[in-house]
Amino acid sequence: MKTIDKYVFQALDSYPYSLEETIESLDYAFSYDAKNTMVLCLYGRIQAEQLLNYEAAKSFFEEAFTINIHALEVYPYYIQTLILNEDYEEAMRLIDFALTIKGISKAGVFIKKAILFEVQHKFKKAMKEIRNAKLHSISYDSESEIRDVEKRIKGKMELVEKKKNKSKKLSK
């Protein structure tokens, strides 16, 4: 095992519970190889998930893609960052491209697509993507995530339906 791998594993093991240790390990890994996509991805995640600095996160993810467009570890986090930053068109383009990449978790990408539609309040489209995610799921981890997202979307659909019913009653 290369020294850089040791530091990448330490960073992954520390994240998100010990940010100081994570950054320290990432800095060591980065000093060994500034073009390591896993390192850049984790820097991007810290910017997006901890610091809520989506533009900085996007820069790290884009840098990783300039090194390797097939860096599978980057796609879910970059898509999520684009959604949180309300870059919906860019997120859809990235999702569409990600679905063409050999070896990527298609279920994970379809979950992100469902979330994209969810935040846009396109719940029927979101449920269609949940179905696609279920069809492409090959692990229990993705199945539990699918269930969680599906439950949340159904809850929102019920809220919208209740609101419509109340409006109808009030207008009578």
pLDDT tens-digit profile of 107-154? 999 999 999 999 999 999 999 999 999 999 998 888 999 999 999 999
Question: Looking up tokens 């919906």, which residue turns up?
Answer: 88
Dmax of the chain from CA atoms? 72
**DSSP 8-state code for residue 74:** T
**Which residue type, as a one-letter code, is found at position 123?**
F
Q: What is the pTM of this model?
A: 0.93
pLDDT tens-digit profile of 54-101? 999 999 999 999 999 999 999 999 999 999 999 999 999 999 999 999
**What's the Cα-to-Cα distance from 6 to each of 13, 23, 53, 87, rounded to whole Å?**
10, 14, 27, 35
Q: How far is 122 from 133, CA to CA, in rounded Å?
A: 17
